[in-house]
Amino acid sequence: MCSSDLAWVAESLGTVTETTPWSGTREVLSNGASEAKGLLALARAVPSGHAAAKTRWYLKTHGAQTSQTSALLELLAAKADPPSLQVVLAAANRLKQKGVQKLAGELVARIAEDNDWTLDQLADRSVPTLGLDEAGRLELPCGEDAKTYVARLNEALELVLFNPDGRPIKALPTGEDEATVDSKATFADAKKTLTQVVSIQRERLFDAMCSGRVWPVAEWLGDIHGHPVLRKASEQLVWLGLDADGAILSAFRPTPEGDFIGADDAAIDPAAFAGIGLAHAMLVGPAADAAWLAHLKDHDVTPLFAQFGRAAPGAVVADAESIADRNGWVTDTFTVRGLAKKLGYDRGAAEDGGHFGHYLRRFPVAGLIATINFSGNCLPEENLTAVIYDLRFARDRDGKPGGEVPPAKVPPVLLAECWHDYHAAASKGVFDPDWERRSPW
């Protein structure tokens, strides 16, 4: 079974161009390739990095083809290795097609149950290592004499190469010998997988921060700091040490040298904590917020995502149903769409007549959905006047908002981050006292 077989299965669902009066020109599937679906059983032998990449491409390009996407996700769940599971986990959390998303969730739950893990533990323990050893090295023998070249993960979460003398190089040597050919293929697969891993883990750790996830210390040391990729990512974040009651004892950052230090560079011992979570300006207070901003700048650390320097939202009225301090700001629908997409929000479901009136973002760890509501648009979309309304929260019911949650009951970090998103959605507009007359609906 060669590695191109899964590509053939996916790409045999070929595309043709179709023009319709209601949707314009678009690519559609020319056939279902149902007569070839038996190849998916054989495709289980395809290298995992290749299978994961091809499935991610298909989900992104043809995700609306629910039968095919379901079959590909079942294939990856059957492989059940880290690269495959990361795609299934991402589909369970983010896929727009709710039926397929539900299937992915069921596949994930089954795998977690088989291993006696929680879903969070499964997500931590299925992150690909890229073949890196405990020291973060990927050995790549080349040439007839099998000289050892090495790839290492740098501070930008990129794989960099070093020759046998330890000097950085841009590429492995050329050669047709078996060792060189295999090492080139290994390195190419590791780089492709790394791109997916970094994207997925950045989003997953951000969700964990917003939702207030706490790791038992032993699990954090083993699953996060003990993982060659997650360890490097953890060095770009600030963490909180908590006592058994969840109170903050100290904030710290792991270093490339293997130390744990506070904002003042003093040594911190994680073994003194009962749990570990992710820090945020809303949790540490203004003084520590400023201290960590200075620390990260002094140590030339580029954060994996922003944790500090974020203005706090104003006081939330206890019985308020939403946050509406940008209600009546006027911009246009394409600007709102672009900003929402950049911030990780998806278009809400269209109602009668193809009208939709919100963008939403799921927070799986917290089981919540945030919605930024506005005057809306119709499908196919046109660039119309857009009036921003409010920010609301709801329980996640199979990927859809179900049962509103007042802002006062939302975890403080999640509330603050969504408040920033809400303000960003209105940032290209201005307040119009006559906003009620500006809405096209």
pLDDT tens per residue across span 184-226 = 999 999 998 899 899 989 999 999 999 999 999 999 999 999 9
Indicate whether 322 belongs to any domain: no
Indicate whether 86 belongs to any domain: yes
Among 258, 281, 298, give the residue marking a domain's end.
Answer: 298
Indicate whether 70 belongs to any domain: yes
User: What string of DSSP letters covers 293-306?
Assistant: HHHHHHTT---SS-
Residues 53 and 108 in one domain: yes
Rounded Cα distance, 395 and 360, in Å: 12
Residues 256 and 168 in one domain: no
The pLDDT of residue 104 is 86
pLDDT band at residue 35 using 50, 70 and 90 as cut-offs: low
The pLDDT of residue 4 is 44
Residues 11 and 121 in one domain: yes
Indicate whether 311 belongs to any domain: no
Rounded Cα distance, 56 and 438, in Å: 41
* Residue tagged 């995502």 (tokens): 305
Residues 360 and 399 in one domain: yes
Indicate whether 319 belongs to any domain: no
Residues 25 and 119 in one domain: yes
Average pLDDT over residues 241-265: 96
Given a cut of 90, whether residue 141 has pLDDT beyond it is yes
Given a cut of 90, whether residue 252 has pLDDT beyond it is yes
Neighbours of 109 (CB within 10 A): 13
The pLDDT of residue 25 is 47
pLDDT tens per residue across span 45-67 = 777 777 888 888 888 788 778 88
In angstroms, the Cα distances linking 61 to 55, 56, 64, 95 are 10, 9, 9, 12
Indicate whether 141 belongs to any domain: yes
Residues 357 and 408 in one domain: yes
The pLDDT of residue 32 is 56
Compute the residue count for the chain: 441
- Reduced to 3 states (helix: H, G, I; strand: E, B; else coil), residue 364 is coil
Rounded Cα distance, 274 and 259, in Å: 19
Given a cut of 90, whether residue 430 has pLDDT beyond it is yes
Domain count, the chain: 4
| Higher per-residue pLDDT: 28 or 42 | 42
Residues 350 and 426 in one domain: yes
Q: Cβ-count burial of 205 within 10 angstroms (0-12 exposed, 13-18 middle, 19+ buried)?
A: buried
Please answer whether residues 419 and 313 qualify as being in contact, where contact means their C-beta atoms are separated by less than 8 angstroms: yes
The pLDDT of residue 330 is 97
Lookup: tokens for 231: 């360890």
Radius of gyration, alpha carbons of the chain: 24
The pLDDT of residue 21 is 40
Average pLDDT over residues 371-378: 95
| Higher per-residue pLDDT: 430 or 59 | 430
Give the structural domain span for 224.
Answer: 212-298
Residues 121 and 154 in one domain: no
Rounded Cα distance, 211 and 67, in Å: 33
The pTM for the full model equals 0.81
Rounded Cα distance, 349 and 360, in Å: 9
Indicate whether 39 belongs to any domain: yes
Q: Cβ-count burial of 318 within 10 angstroms (0-12 exposed, 13-18 middle, 19+ buried)?
A: exposed
Given a cut of 90, whether residue 15 has pLDDT beyond it is no
Neighbours of 149 (CB within 10 A): 21
Residues 419 and 362 in one domain: yes
Neighbours of 67 (CB within 10 A): 11
Indicate whether 373 belongs to any domain: yes
Among 104, 125, 146, give the residue marking a domain's end.
Answer: 125
Q: What is the DSSP letter of 432?
A: -
| CB neighbour list of residue 338: distance below 8 Å, 6 or more residues apart | none
pLDDT tens per residue across span 383-400 = 999 999 999 999 998 778
Given a cut of 90, whether residue 36 has pLDDT beyond it is no
Q: What is the CATH number of the domain that holds 339?
A: 3.30.310
Lowest mean pLDDT segment, chosen from 99-108, 141-150, 182-191, 260-269: 99-108
Residues 362 and 285 in one domain: no
Average pLDDT over residues 90-113: 83
3-state secondary structure 171-194: CCCCCCCHHHHHHHHHHHHHHHHH
Average pLDDT over residues 56-80: 84
Among 276, 298, 320, give the residue marking a domain's end.
Answer: 298
In angstroms, the Cα distances linking 384 to 281, 307, 334 are 37, 35, 8
